[in-house]
Structure formats: structure tokens, C-alpha cells
Amino acid sequence: MNGRSEIAGWIAHAKRRGGAPFLLILLESFEPLAPVLAQGLLVAQPLANLWRGGAALGELVELLEEPEGLSELRALLADDGAE
């Protein structure tokens, strides 16, 4: 996963709580807006650093900016949990 440990932790937490299918639907619904969302998250990243979430937010921004990253994020969310 190219060293994306922070976002992997967030996704694992979402899977444990049953939110991964919902996040996958959101990702597919708003995929055309992903680059715009990434820029908005980039602006919010300094604030997220206050709660130690800046690294994960940075990883999410990288995933949302590229089509390969979106595919990787989609695969992580759709994974059945065979970790």
C-alpha cells in the first residue's frame, strides 16, 4: 500500500464499525469531485494536525488526487478484511 499506514488504520476502524460500505458508496458517488475535495482537505490539514490527524489527511489527499489512488482507496474499502 505504499506506506499509507495512517489511512489504512482509518479504513480498518471504519470496517470494524461497519462503515466501509457507506464510505465506498460515497467515494463512488462523489468520484468526479475527488480532486476538489482533495484541495479542500489540504486546506484543512493544518487544523487536523492539532488532533494528530494531519498525516492521515495528507495520505487521503494523495489518494484522492490521482485515478490510481482512487482505485487503491476503492480496493481498500471493498476488501473483505482478509488482512
CA 58 to chain centre: 9
Domain interval for residue 70: 5-78
Strands (DSSP E) found in 1-83 = none
Contact 23, 77 (CB under 8 A): yes
Instruction: Provide the whole-model pTM.
Output: 0.73
Does 21 reside within a domain?
yes
Name which of 21, 27, 29 is nearest 81 in CA terms: 21
Does 61 reside within a domain?
yes
Does 83 reside within a domain?
no
Contact 31, 38 (CB under 8 A): no
Q: How many domains does the chain have?
A: 1
pLDDT tens across 26-74, in order? 989 988 888 898 888 888 887 777 777 778 888 888 888 888 989 998 9
Does 11 reside within a domain?
yes
